[in-house]
Amino acid sequence: MATLNDQHLLKTQSYWQGGWHGASESFDVTNPATGELVAAVADASAADAEQAVASAAAAFSRWAALPAAERASLLLRWHQLMLQHQDDLGLLLTLEQGKPLAEAKGEIAYGASYVQWFAEEARRVYGDTIPGPATDKRIMVLKQPVGVVAAITPWNFPNAMIARKAAAALAAGCTFVVKPAQQTPLSALAMAELAERAGIPAGVFNVIVGTDAKGIGAVLTQDARIAKFSFTGSTRIGKQLIKQCADTVKRVSMELGGNAPFIVFDDADLDAAVEGLMASKFRNAGQTCVCTNRVFVQQGVMASFSDKLQQAMKALKVGAGTETGVTIGPLINDEACDKVDELVQAASRQGATVLCGGQRVTAGQLFYAPTLLTDVTASMEVSQEEIFGPVVALQSFSDEDEALQQANNTEYGLAAYFYSRDIGRIWRVAEGLQFGMVGVNEGIISNAAAPFGGVKQSGYGREGSHYGLDDYLDCKYVCMGGLNR
Ligand code: SIN
């Protein structure tokens, strides 16, 4: 394995109660680009998860009672350490997840930006006073941390998906236990090492890594000491976890699957639209929930848009994320490659034209060629399922009503994008899209200042922005009476 500048950032055990904990079994973390072993990691059990929850529960009241400014300083220190170790954290991320090194380092900065954002927001957890219904009464509203928060996070953003949940939770005064995806535990454990170096007290930030997803998931969704559960992942698993949280009536937030439309109107700047689509589609080799999934191009500009797009796609370089100039890394595993290929082959059998790509690439086991499909229809699986791979599927439409109707024709509602230069159309379409986030003439919309989240079966709750703290705070009404006596 390529060496880190700071070897102590490579941790292979779970972290709770401010300490590292081994296990009798271990599991392998492999590099998806090469299949090589990156590290063998201690395989924590459901019983270990209970220990982690106990440590978060024990730490809660002290952490919640700290002045917000002190919690903010510790978070800012954590943020600084992430940036200071950006190269090492980026390399670890590329080795376990596969994305190109430049993108991995970008993810570290992106994750750290949430820590900074919520450190600043910690000081602004304002309550409220409300005029009372009688002269001798006053109504006050206090915002208090919900308690222990548990989270399960995905492999596609091994740092940032933890950072934006944990930073909000810690800023609000909650303590936190996370189970990262078993494919990418090393980024999470390195974050724990840096949290410790930042001085975040024992029990406040805990990471439990293991292969018993069911057993650990059961603890994190059913333990009565946990007040809130947050999940990023597929809609199918999210629905199951929501049910598991019901018995203890946990606060739940869900960032689930997407099926993002990308609409190109005939008045759009086509070069800008191609640039936006390239960014939105090929980030992380197409493996993000907000990646464009369905591209709708107005009939009159279809030919020139698809030519320009094909030209731009020629510049993509597939390979191991550690190689210079690579822009598309491997997919996460064999099943992911098979699924992408099945969607492409099925579309092609049903009448789609493969303009480029359409098969695995010989650079390694898990690489799929950037693929461009035209003549795609709404009934094809490639239009209905989250592709999670480097495949662009072009459909055409005739007018604005049809574009909106097609774009909204999905059970998902996470992100949507469109390109137009007509101000009236921009408002009509932005308001008509049934999605939690809309990019207008913009393909990259995620940032710490903005509320990230979906509607419909893409979930609920918002991460980032000042709204991102709400999910971690209870609203307590205090009625003060007897003021006239
Ligand atoms: C995701 O794919 O779940 C997150 C992507 C982002 O934060 O932009």
Helix spans in 154-204 (H): 160-172, 185-198
Per-residue H/E/C for 74-125: HHHHHHHHHHHCHHHHHHHHHHHHCCCHHHHHHHHHHHHHHHHHHHHHHCCC
Using the mean position of ligand 1's atoms as its centre, give its distance from the Cα of residue 90 in Å: 17
Among 96, 107, 255, 386, the one annotated catalytic: 255
Asked if 335 is an active-site residue, the reply is no
The single-letter DSSP state of residue 455 is: E
Residue 326 CA, ligand 1 centroid: distance in Å? 21
> Which of 328, 308, 392 lies closest to 356 in space, CA to CA?
392
Using alpha carbons, select from 228, 230, 221 the residue that is nearest to residue 152: 230
Q: Calculate the alpha carbon distances from 102 to 94, 327, 422 in Å.
A: 9, 9, 35
Per-residue model confidence (pLDDT) at position 275: 98
SS3 475: strand
- The amino acid at residue 415 is A
291 C-alpha vs ligand 1 centroid, how far in Å?
Answer: 8
Active-site residue among 96, 196, 245, 289?
289
Neighbour-count burial for 429-467, b at 16+ CB within 10 Å, e otherwise: beebbebbbbbbeebebbebeeebbbebbbbbbbbbbee
Considering only CA atoms, which residue is closest to atom 6 of ligand 1? 446
Nearest CA to ligand 1 atom 3: 289
C-alpha span between 149 and 172 (Å, rounded): 11
> Measured between alpha carbons, how far is residue 278 from residues 59, 93, 284, 296, 373 in Å?
45, 22, 11, 14, 14
- Dihedral class, residue 388 (left if φ above 0, else alpha if ψ from -120 to 50, else beta): left
Pocket test for ligand 1, best of 237, 280, 452, 463 (most atoms within 8 A of CB): 452
Which tokens in the block code for residue 246?
A: 């019901």
Tokens of 171: 């800023």
Quote the tokens at residue 249.
């009536």
Measured distance CA(179)–CA(157) in Å, rounded: 13
Strands (E), 125-219: 128-131, 138-145, 148-152, 175-179, 205-207
Pocket of ligand 1 (CB under 6 A): 156-157, 160, 232, 255, 288-290, 446, 452
User: How do strand 19-21 and strand 14-16 relate by DSSP bridges?
Assistant: antiparallel
Q: Decide if 255 is catalytic.
A: yes
Residue ranges in the chain modelled with pLDDT below 50: none
pTM above 0.95, yes or no: yes
Tell me how far the alpha carbon of residue 456 lies from the centroid of ligand 1, in angstroms: 17
Give the closest residue to 146 by CA, choosing from 203, 230, 228. 228
Q: Which residue's CA is the closest to the ligand 1 atom numbered 8?
A: 446
Mutate to test the pocket of ligand 1, among 288, 445, 462 (most ligand atoms within 8 A of CB): 288
Phi, psi angles (nearest 5°) of residue 438: -130, 125
Q: How far is the C-alpha of 418 from the C-alpha of 427, rounded, in Å?
A: 11
Q: What is the DSSP letter of 224?
A: T
Dump pLDDT digits (tens) for 348-360. Answer: 999 999 999 999 9
Q: How many CB atoms lie within 10 A of CB 239?
A: 12
Tell me, what's the pLDDT at 11?
Answer: 98
Q: ∠449-110-209 over CA atoms, to 5°?
A: 120
3-class state of residue 371 by DSSP: strand
Q: Return the pLDDT at 363.
A: 79
pLDDT at 485: 75
Specify the residue with its C-alpha closest to ligand 1, atom 7.
446
Hey, what long-range contacts does 430-434 have (CB within 8 A, 24 or more apart)? 432/404, 432/408, 433/261, 433/404, 433/407, 433/408, 434/408
Residue 300 neighbours by CB under 8 Å, 6+ apart = 266
pLDDT at 213: 98
pLDDT in tens, 214-229: 999 999 999 999 999 9
pLDDT at residue 296 in the model: 98
Cβ contact 379:398 at 8 Å: no
Q: Residue holding tokens 């960032």?
A: 255
DSSP 247-315: TTT-EEEEE----EEEEE-TTS-HHHHHHHHHHHHHGGGG-STTSEEEEEEEGGGHHHHHHHHHHHHTT
Q: Which amino acid is at 359?
A: Q
- Tell me if 468 sits within 8 A of 462, measured CB to CB: yes
Instruction: Note the pLDDT of residue 2.
Output: 67
Q: 453 C-alpha vs ligand 1 centroid, how far in Å? A: 9
